[in-house]
Amino acid sequence: MGLLDNKVALITGAGQGLGEGTAHALAADGAAVVIADISPANARKVADDLTAAGRSALAVACDVRDRTAVDAAVATTVSEFGRLDILVNNAMTLRFVPFEDATSDDLLDAYRSSVLGTFNCMQACFPHLRERGGKVVNFGSNAGTEGGATMATYAAAKEAVRGLTKAVATEWGRYGITVNVIVPTGSSPAWERVKAGLTDEQLDKMLERPIKRMGHPVDDIGRIVVFLSSPYSDYMTGRTLFADGGRSKFR
């Protein structure tokens, strides 16, 4: 028996990285997972991998910035599985640029993919989550909670997601819906791009934490999303959980 047996989860940005790891973790605990990604090929690959492992999975192409596309993804989910219990908002674009070189378009792009995307998905899923006292897990970032160099637009958007989370948690508690944030530091394509440009000294600084490694997408990050998606977190809402090997302990 899994913690999420008979539950259905829609996961955005699940075609790679931490979103993919989250999909594997939720599926391993019994959930049927919908792999929503802007890349149809990436979504299909993850769904095929899960199906080959005996899990229940469906791929949908979805640009979370587009409300029509989000509505279609939700409709497909409910049509295929008959319900929707869990929403995981992970999708986000990321561009590294010094603040003095950042443009208003950079900021708007970050907000559209993260804040607007999260807004669109939560609103579209709300009728189904309300039926079942559902779960929402939004992804934050240490870039926002600490302040990440060359990541000002990304940091601003991620902190806006945390504010949105707290406000919606306050409103939706009466429906039995919990809305929480996970702030992870995990291995992902985005992390590999960052790592490639770091000196040894910079890498040591990045890994300054009691557990001196990046989190595994499934075992370290995905399993915390499982917790936030399960009955074990029913009395938690509007909260931020740091899955960062203790990095935030020093901040």
Is 154 labeled as catalytic in the residue annotation? yes
3-class SS of residue 150:
coil
At residue 170, φ and ψ (nearest 5 deg) are -65, -40
Exactly one of 154, 175, 232, 235 is catalytic; name it.
Answer: 154
Q: For residue 18, what are its two tokens?
A: 């931490």
Q: Residue 211's CB: how many other CB atoms inside 10 A? A: 13
Q: Are 222 and 27 in contact (CB under 8 A)?
A: no
d(CA 243, CA 69): 30
> Sheet containing 135-139: which strands, arranged edge to edge?
57-61, 32-37, 8-12, 86-89, 135-139, 178-184, 240-243
Cβ-Cβ contacts under 8 Å for 151 (sequence gap 6 or more): 94, 96, 143
Q: Please, is 2 exposed, middle or buried when counting C-beta atoms within 10 Å of its C-beta (0-12, 13-18, 19+)?
A: middle
DSSP strand pairing (86-89 vs 57-61): unpaired
Q: Are 152 and 106 in contact (CB under 8 A)?
A: no
d(CA 52, CA 146): 40
* Nearest C-alpha neighbor of 136 from the set 170, 180, 166: 180
- Return the amino acid letter for 40: P
Q: Catalytic positions, please? A: 154
